[in-house]
Structure 1
Amino acid sequence: MSYKNYPMVSRIVFGRGSFNQLGDILAPKRLNRKAPFIFLVDDVFKGNSGLTSRIPIAYDDQLLYVSADNEPKTDQVDELVEQIILNHKDRPSGIIGIGGGTILDLAKAVAIMLANEGEAKDYQGWDLVKNPAIYHVGIPTISGTGAEVSRTTVLTGPEKKLGINSDYTPFDQVILDPELTKGVPEDQWFYTGMDCYIHCIESLNGTFLNAFSQSYGEKAYELCKDIFMNGSLSEEEAQDKLMMASWHGGMSIAYSQVGVAHAMSYGLSYLLGTKHGIGNCIVFDHLEEFYPDGVKLFKTMKKKHNIHLPQGICAHLHDDELDIMIDVALGLEPLWENAIGKNWKQVITRSKLKTLYQKM
């Protein structure tokens, strides 16, 4: 039997205010004065001098504001890569992503595509990347997605929603500064936090579970329970803990896999453009059959935080639209195998998925 040789993020800084060390961290990585660092920054920070004035821009460095309103797309990656190549003669010294999961995934994908030929859609799948990505740094400003730690970059392409899963995807450096998550709207905080919680439930209940994933998954699960059920945490404690939960949740699925909620939410996202966090919540709300205890606690947390999920988003879909979602979901075979086992195709039929989608 051969075991997965998993690539880790090689360097990580954690602590309130650690964002201020970014300049010192980047300085030795600068190839030369003409080789810029490109900062991809979530456009919610546009006009927020509190963050942007602290970004250590020098020489020919460039700051690009990127919208996270939609899930990241392969053609968006290609456009960013083209923009960077046209604006700079020298290959960049590095890509720095500052934002939520969407921005972090784009930063990973751009770093890969600056070192590999063709288009981003050519690399959607497992281990298709030939050349190492250029140096890339991830700085999350919201916690839960696990994008800062994973070896995938989730992208919607012309034909499928599928990540670039490769050993070259993980960041070379991550800065975890809980202060950056201050001011995240309550519903957004809940949805991305639940992305982490659902990672744990899917990992801990999966057939791929092993001691490695279990140790991280259990820790993340306990942290999530504390954050979303314990009313006595200060805002700072909650920020610190959720940042750690996100990291541990990401590590848990690194050595196992996610499951039913993620597979089905990819379908929602591909057809309807539903954002990943809220999409997971909409799906997970209907998965008692697969994760009875996890869903029960999820509903309790939802009620405690007064979260009202959109209802009936699939009610008016035609059969051909439902078929598109079902195709996308069924394409994620490792997720189904983890959730159900090797015989998953006997359990997960098209009509079963159709019935589930129609409830949402």
Structure 2
Amino acid sequence: MKIEKEIANRKKEVSTLNRVHRNFPMVPKVVFGRGSFNQLGDILLPKRRNSDAPFIFLVDDFFNGKDLEQKLPWLFNDQIIFVSADEEPKTEQVDALVEKIKTDFEELPSGIVGIGGGTLLDLAKAVAIMLTNKGKSESYQGWDLVTKKSIYHVGIPTISGTGAEVSRTAVLSGPDKKLGINSDYTTYDQVVLDPNLLETVPKEQWFYTGMDCFIHCIESLNGTYLNAFSQSYGEKALDLCKEVFLGELSKEESEEKLMMASWHGGMSIAYSQVGVAHAMSYGLSYLLGVKHGIGNCLVFQHLSEFYPKGVKLFNEMKEKHNIEFPKGVCANLSEEDFDSMISVSLSMDALWENALGTNWRDKISPEKLRAIYSKI
């Protein structure tokens, strides 16, 4: 009960803080360049407290048995945990990993290293937080509910677009909602951006995740929360996305520019917000387990009413790269299923306010959302 009361009090404090200018953190250290992954051992060494305080590597299981595994700079009793990225990260998954780490080791790890796409990066951020905060991770889904600093954590993206490497949010699906742990302690302490790690990304996944970045930009740049800070990052990210998805770049140039677009796109929403596509995508993900990138694409194609220029560009990119989206995703859903998705979507107050303004509830309705979902 004590934890619940502390969180309730924190929510009241956040309500007040939201009325003033926010003092958001950024990633304090980042290394970029081909081959920069090889510096990881040197980066981690000064952070090792002792031989009994390991580093925990949370790695996309795609790399199990691959060259990357052999390059991990593990020492002493470091632990490598391979995690499937087939599903979006869940609060129960975070809690299970935290319990395992606390059971396996007598003292807290020296740090957590997340290696993979947005799923692994969000998972690693959440685990780093929950190793120092009591209770279950579902209790911290929301804005600024975390009260204790996380342990040192490093993010290494192996696919570009989500912006998870730079954001202050760890998006999780919980028992009642899909919502991020959004706090000053979520942001990574160190990020390693090595374009060489992008070489194995399949084409469709490259497109879906890249479109997550593109949609970040469109929703940020067209939102009511827009300001000079978010605009500067959003415009740069959008220009990079156009180069990558509509230009004629070499594979190497495309990898490097999309990695930078992801970084800038993530920064564009740090002092702003996303909008309609993300709010509705959360509903798809919560009910059907649709991965975030493809969920955004499935929704965004039907949002000309809200983002006409963005949807036009999106369709040009889709056509240029011959991408076909799944059809009939919502064809066999019950009324109860639609109600569940709509409820999750409409609970994203900040996203809707950014998209439509403070009176957003007068501009959107469950019936409109159902009509959009029924097209997917």
TM-score interval for Structure 1 and Structure 2 normalised by the shorter chain: over 0.9
Provide the rounded CA distance (Å) in 2 between the counterparts of 1:61 and 1:313: 42
Provide the rounded CA distance (Å) in 2 between the counterparts of 1:141 and 1:208: 30
Tell me the alpha carbon deviations over residues 327-351 of structure 1, each in whole angstroms, 9 at most, x when there is no partner.
0000100000000011100011111
Map of 1:304 onto structure 2:
320
Structure 1 gaps, min length 5: none
State the 1:69 CA deviation.
0.4
Map of 1:28 onto structure 2:
46
Tell me the matched-pair count: 358
State the 1:315 CA deviation.
1.6
Map of 1:197 onto structure 2:
214
Provide the rounded CA distance (Å) in 1 between the counterparts of 2:71 and 2:201: 19
Provide the rounded CA distance (Å) in 2 between the counterparts of 1:136 and 1:143: 19
- 1:162 partner letter: L
Provide the rounded CA distance (Å) in 2 between the counterparts of 1:39 and 1:276: 23
State the 1:47 CA deviation.
1.2
- 2:215 partner letter: I
Give the alignment partner of residue 121 of structure 2, picking from 104, 121, 143: 104
- Is 1:5–2:23 an aligned residue pair? yes
- 1:41 partner letter: V
Tell me the alpha carbon deviations over residues 247-290 of structure 1, each in whole angstroms, 9 at most, x when there is no partner.
00000000100000000000000000000000000000000000
Superposition map of 1:203-218 within 5 A: 203-218=220-235
Normalised by the length of structure 2, the TM-score is 0.95
Give the alignment partner of residue 276 of structure 2, picking from 257, 260, 283: 260
Give the alignment partner of residue 238 of structure 1, picking from 224, 240, 254: 254
Tell me the alpha carbon deviations over residues 303-357 of structure 1, each in whole angstroms, 9 at most, x when there is no partner.
1100000112112111110000000000100000000011100011111111111
State the 1:114 CA deviation.
0.2
Provide the rounded CA distance (Å) in 1 between the counterparts of 2:143 and 2:24: 13
State the 1:29 CA deviation.
0.3
Provide the rounded CA distance (Å) in 2 between the counterparts of 1:87 and 1:342: 48
SS at match of 2:82: strand
Structure 2 gaps, min length 5: 1-18
Superposition map of 1:285-300 within 5 A: 285-300=301-316
Map of 2:204 onto structure 1:
187
SS at match of 2:45: helix
Provide the rounded CA distance (Å) in 2 between the counterparts of 1:263 and 1:286: 14
SS at match of 1:13: strand
SS at match of 1:288: coil
Map of 2:33 onto structure 1:
15
Provide the rounded CA distance (Å) in 2 between the counterparts of 1:337 and 1:2: 17
Two-structure CA RMSD over aligned residues (Å): 0.6
Map of 1:351 onto structure 2:
367
Tell me the alpha carbon deviations over residues 5-29 of structure 1, each in whole angstroms, 9 at most, x when there is no partner.
0111110001110000000000000
Instruction: Give the share of equivalent positions with the same residue, in percent.
Output: 68
Provide the rounded CA distance (Å) in 2 between the counterparts of 1:359 and 1:290: 16
Provide the rounded CA distance (Å) in 2 between the counterparts of 1:137 and 1:181: 18
Map of 1:150 onto structure 2:
167
SS at match of 1:53: helix
